[in-house]
Structure 1
Amino acid sequence: MSTPTSAESLIRLMDMAETLPSAVALRTRSYELLELDAGARVVDAGCGTGRAVVELAERGARAVGVDAAEEMVAAARKRWPVHDFRLGDVYRLPLGDGEVAGYRADKVLHVLTDAPRALREARRVLAPGGRIVLIGQDWDTFVIDSDDPRLTRVIVHARADLVPDPRVARRYRNLLLDAGFEQADVEVHTAVFTDETMLPMLTGLAEAARAAGAITGEQHAAWTAEQRERARNGRLFLALPLFVAIARRPC
């Protein structure tokens, strides 16, 4: 049996996460906030394997998915061959000026080193009056129940520091205003997990903190053992606040 590649592992993780009820509800809300007319063109920037593109098309939009990862675009085209997926950079989208009525980016900006540049590009491709929706988590606001809250804070912050722009979600509204958008607003949707579904995420946080030298091997072992025990006993608690920002390109 061959060993899965990192891209294959990421795709499996994304598939699992995208089918969670909270994720389905959040995607649906993002589509509503775009306020697209039937037949309107919309771009999903950082589309991954393309689920949102398909769902937007099912709602009557002409959706285009753009992703910088060749593996993601290939997977999307294989899964959904009748839909429009393009290899491209969020800083240089393969779209003309004012070509789309809607722009959506779900958990994308935190991996960028220049979010303002990406939003300027979003403004370029949006038609006057077009709407932009951004979704993302603030990597410093994982809420985790633990017998050792001080160590938990160290783990959360250490993992956040490994992300290119871990706190960009709290800046969504101001970034949109700075990029020339108007009517900017923000919603918060908190996903709560109390079973073993998100245990791999928690153990991954601790492993990243250990690898970064923020915690010792002994601390890592003790913290992950506690979280596994909580998962076995139905006592795990993880809350993830997800921020949804909405704005409009001026007419």
Structure 2
Amino acid sequence: MPTTSPDDPWSSVADDWGRYWGTFARPAWEPMLRTAAIGLGTRVLDVGCGTGELLEHLQELGARPTGVDPAARMVELARARAIGSDVRLGDFEQLPFDDAAFDSLLAVNAFQFAADEERALAEAGRVLVPGGTLGLAGWAERGRNDLDAINVALAAADDEEPPDDGPLRVEGGLAGVLLGAGWEVLDDGVVPVPWTARHDTDLVRGILFGEDASTIADLAPVVVAAAAPFRRSDGTYRLLNAFRWAVARRPG
């Protein structure tokens, strides 16, 4: 998580986020879109749309995507990428849209940031039509992610323990929170999600985006050493990770 302005921590790092992580979750899109039956003409809200890569993909499918994100720079970049899509500033817990405005809502690597999960799900239900679908996706447990080796090394460098897996990251976590809120879960699963870096510089910038120059200089050797097992003969890096996803139907 970036360590910049507490009011809008993501805007100052939005460009680097899009460059290194914008399409990272793409493998999780396909099973969600298939299960939610998203296609030509589907009105889709992408919550936490980031720099707009999923919005652009939905446009290519012929859907009618709309985006919302709490970071002003993310909104700016998403509008530039998904030209013609309505992209607004807003939070999951207070979506700036009318009741029953969408057929489907997607939140990829976003639901875990909601301060109030119950309210976020209630808002999702409000903006969906009866029978509308909600798709959630996010990181799987640490043991499934090669990136955890770097996170462990960085925590050790700061004399800290790496964070524990949250309840949404474990098997059944996303489906469980949806079932508990009265949603009808249609399907859920886990998909491999690789992250690649072209060289040491991209590796360090991608991992340490949002840190100041002195911190990056101090921690770059830690990152490179921890990523050594994932360095390929051509100098690129490939770290295999995993995302969990779940799709549910709006409660009646």
Q: TM-score band, normalised by the shorter chain?
A: 0.7 to 0.9
Could you tell me which residue of structure 2 aligns to residue 76 of structure 1?
78
2:169 partner SS: helix
2:88 partner SS: strand
Give the letter aligned to residue 189 of structure 1: V
Shift of 1:119: 1.2
Could you tell me which residue of structure 2 aligns to residue 246 of structure 1?
247
Q: Is the 8 A contact 1:123 1:179 kept in 2?
A: no
- Which runs of no fewer than 5 residues in structure 1 stay unpaired? 212-216
- Aligned counterparts of 1:76 and 1:19: Cα–Cα separation in 2: 13
1:186 partner SS: strand
Q: Any idea what the Cα deviations from partners look like across 1:170-223, whole Å, max 9, x if unmatched?
A: 321111112221134321002346876784389659x9xxx9xxxxx9xx7985
Q: Greater relative contact order (Cα 8 A, min sep 6): structure 1 or 2?
A: 2
Q: Is the 8 A contact 2:22 2:51 kept in 1?
A: no
2:91 partner SS: coil
Could you tell me which residue of structure 2 aligns to residue 99 of structure 1?
101
- Aligned counterparts of 1:136 and 1:81: Cα–Cα separation in 2: 26
Q: Any idea what the Cα deviations from partners look like across 1:109-130, whole Å, max 9, x if unmatched?
A: 2222222221121111111111
Could you tell me which residue of structure 1 aligns to residue 31 of structure 2?
29
**Number of aligned residue pairs:** 229
Give the letter aligned to residue 245 of structure 2: V
Change (3 A) 1:228 1:239: closer
Give the letter aligned to residue 86 of structure 1: R
Q: Is the 8 A contact 1:202 1:227 kept in 2?
A: no
Shift of 1:35: 0.4
Change (3 A) 1:201 1:132: farther
- Aligned counterparts of 1:194 and 1:50: Cα–Cα separation in 2: 20
Alignment of 1:107-126 (within 5 A): 107-126=109-128
Alignment of 1:144-223 (within 5 A): 144=146, 158-160=161-163, 166-170=166-170, 171-192=173-194, 199-200=203-204, 204=208
2:16 partner SS: helix
2:99 partner SS: coil
Change (3 A) 1:46 1:177: same
**Aligned sequence identity (%):** 30
Shift of 1:141: 3.5
Could you tell me which residue of structure 2 aligns to residue 227 of structure 1?
226
Structure richer in helix, relative to its length: 1
- Aligned counterparts of 1:43 and 1:243: Cα–Cα separation in 2: 20
TM-score, structure 1 length as denominator? Answer: 0.73
Change (3 A) 1:84 1:202: closer
Change (3 A) 1:75 1:225: closer
Q: Is the 8 A contact 2:154 2:222 kept in 1?
A: no
Give the letter aligned to residue 107 of structure 1: N
Of residues 125, 128, 131, the one that matches 1:129 is: 131
Q: Is the 8 A contact 1:135 1:242 kept in 2?
A: yes
- Aligned counterparts of 2:183 and 2:56: Cα–Cα separation in 1: 27
1:173 partner SS: helix
Could you tell me which residue of structure 2 aligns to residue 16 of structure 1?
20
Could you tell me which residue of structure 2 aligns to residue 40 of structure 1?
42
| Cα root mean square deviation, aligned | 3.8
1:168 partner SS: coil
